[in-house]
């Protein structure tokens, strides 16, 4: 079993343990709902953990022996054979599972969530892409290295984008507008699909379908309505934002939802920055003279070496690869030597 699958099973066992102790409170239930809905693998692991818990309880009642399995997977294996008589201290097992889950999941690329005051916080790691159904049936696709908070209130569905990028396919609910806040910018829709990305110097909004309103709490000049195919970048310190109708550019910018980076006459330094968003093995441009070279192509977000090879073939630039980084081009001093 892969480490990722093991991690999911351990977290599922934690939920079963908590639910067995006592009914979950409102915040814990909301956290469970987010985790359960985030991935069909979570749902399968949860049902396996429930089955293992129930069968272990049955084995304990039947008497004979003392076996404490190391994980939910082992527990299920112990409990499965018909007629097996194994007494298991479930509290000891689940205590070990709960403690091991943290270690098993350390460094894994999962959406993490924390519920505070009814607001669910979602975070992704570097290179992680997640598609999450929310409780109102809206679909949230969360890009690499992002931090989003969601609060589904009686009269407003409110999202705060603290970092990164997210795309929403919003469930229609005229009584509860859907609003994303990123710094001073608010993007509001009722039923539509759109993406929002935070840059260091501003916010980009891309509309896939329907209509959204974009307005600034700080810049009164920024108040516009965007329809499908439109995109706009609003700088934090400027009020001259202008929406453009570029449906093909919107589609390319949202290619990350399929794990792709789409380049269409993009600068090499811009393309490198995009790949570095998704990978811990960073690309370094050693020759700044290559920075403005234009590139076209579709690449997987998790294959920076394939991109570097394509650059080598297109531009003839040397490429060096090690575990930490990929270097494209040579410095002037290296070339001279």
Rounded average pLDDT over 272-291: 96
CATH class of domain segment(s) 259-336? alpha beta
pLDDT grade, residue 53 (50/70/90)?
Answer: low
Mean per-residue pLDDT for 13-29? 80
116 vs 159, residue with greater confidence: 159
Q: Which of 132-163 are b and which e, b meaning 16 or more Cβ less than 10 Å from the residue's Cβ?
A: bbbeeebebbbbbbbbbbbebeeeebbbbbee
Correct CATH for 112-251 of 2.60.120.1440, 3.30.365.10, 3.90.480.20, 1.20.58.220: 2.60.120.1440
The percentage of the chain sitting over the pLDDT mark of 70, rounded to a whole number, equals: 76
Model pLDDT, residue 82: 33
> Is 225 in contact with 211 (CB distance < 8 Å)?
yes
What average pLDDT does the structure give for the chain?
Answer: 79
Contact (CB, 8 A) for 151 and 130: no
Overall average pLDDT of the 44-55 stretch: 72
Cβ partners under 8 Å of residue 12, min gap 6: 42, 45, 46, 48, 49, 72
In this predicted structure, what is the pLDDT of residue 185? 92
Evaluate if residue 331 carries a pLDDT over 70: no
Q: Which pTM does this prediction carry?
A: 0.67
Total residues found in the chain within this entry = 337
Decide: helix, strand or coil at residue 186.
Answer: strand
Residue 293 pLDDT > 50: yes
For the record, the structure tokens of 152 come out as: 């589904």
Distance CA 28, CA 32 (A): 6
Per CATH, 112-251 and 259-336 having the same topology is answered no
Phi, psi of 322 (to 5 degrees): -140, -175
- The pLDDT of residue 76: 38
Which of the given ranges, 37-41, 144-148, 320-324, has the highest pLDDT on average? 144-148
Least confident range of 2-16, 37-51, 55-69, 164-178: 55-69
Show me where the domains of the chain are located: 3-105, 112-251, 259-336
| pLDDT interval class at 121 (50, 70, 90) | confident
Structure token digits, residue 176? 């509860």
Distance CA(92)–CA(73), nearest Å, equals 15
Q: In the predicted model, is pLDDT for residue 209 greater than 90?
A: yes
pLDDT range class, residue 5, cuts 50, 70, 90: low
Tell me if 135 sits within 8 A of 152, measured CB to CB: yes
pLDDT digits (tens, 9 = 90+) for 143-199: 999 999 999 988 999 999 999 999 999 999 989 999 999 999 999 997 899 999 999
């Amino acid at each position: 079993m892969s480490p990722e699958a093991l991690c999911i099973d351990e977290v599922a066992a934690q939920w079963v343990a908590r639910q067995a102790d006592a009914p979950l409170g409102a915040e814990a239930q909301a956290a469970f709902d987010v985790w359960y809905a985030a991935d069909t693998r979570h749902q399968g692991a949860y049902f396996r953990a429930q089955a293992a818990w129930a069968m272990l309880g049955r084995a304990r009642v039947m008497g004979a022996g003392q076996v404490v399995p190391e994980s939910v997977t082992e527990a299920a294996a112990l409990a499965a054979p018909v007629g097996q008589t194994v007494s298991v201290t479930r509290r000891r097992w689940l205590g070990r599972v709960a403690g091991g889950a943290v270690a098993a999941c350390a460094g894994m690329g999962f959406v993490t969530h924390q519920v505070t005051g009814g607001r669910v916080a979602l975070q992704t790691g570097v290179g992680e892409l997640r598609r999450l159904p929310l409780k109102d049936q809206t679909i949230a696709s969360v890009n690499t290295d992002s931090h989003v908070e969601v609060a589904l209130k009686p009269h407003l569905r409110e999202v705060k984008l603290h970092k990164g990028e997210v795309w929403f396919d919003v469930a229609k609910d005229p009584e509860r507008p859907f609003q994303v806040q990123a710094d001073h910018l608010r993007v509001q829709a009722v039923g539509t699909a759109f993406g929002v990305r935070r840059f260091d110097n501003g916010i980009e909004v891309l509309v896939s379908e329907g209509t959204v309103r974009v307005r600034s709490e700080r810049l009164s000049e920024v108040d516009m309505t965007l329809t499908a195919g439109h995109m706009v970048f609003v700088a934090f310190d400027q009020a001259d934002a202008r929406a453009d109708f570029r449906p093909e550019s919107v589609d390319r910018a949202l290619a990350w939802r399929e794990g792709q980076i789409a380049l269409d006459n993009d600068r090499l330094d811009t393309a490198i920055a995009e790949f570095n968003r998704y990978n811990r093995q960073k690309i370094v441009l050693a020759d700044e003279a290559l920075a403005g070279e234009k590139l076209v192509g579709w690449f997987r977000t998790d294959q920076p070496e394939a991109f570097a090879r394509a650059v080598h073939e297109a531009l003839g630039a040397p490429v060096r690869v090690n575990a930490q980084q990929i270097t494209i081009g040579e410095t002037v001093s290296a070339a001279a030597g």
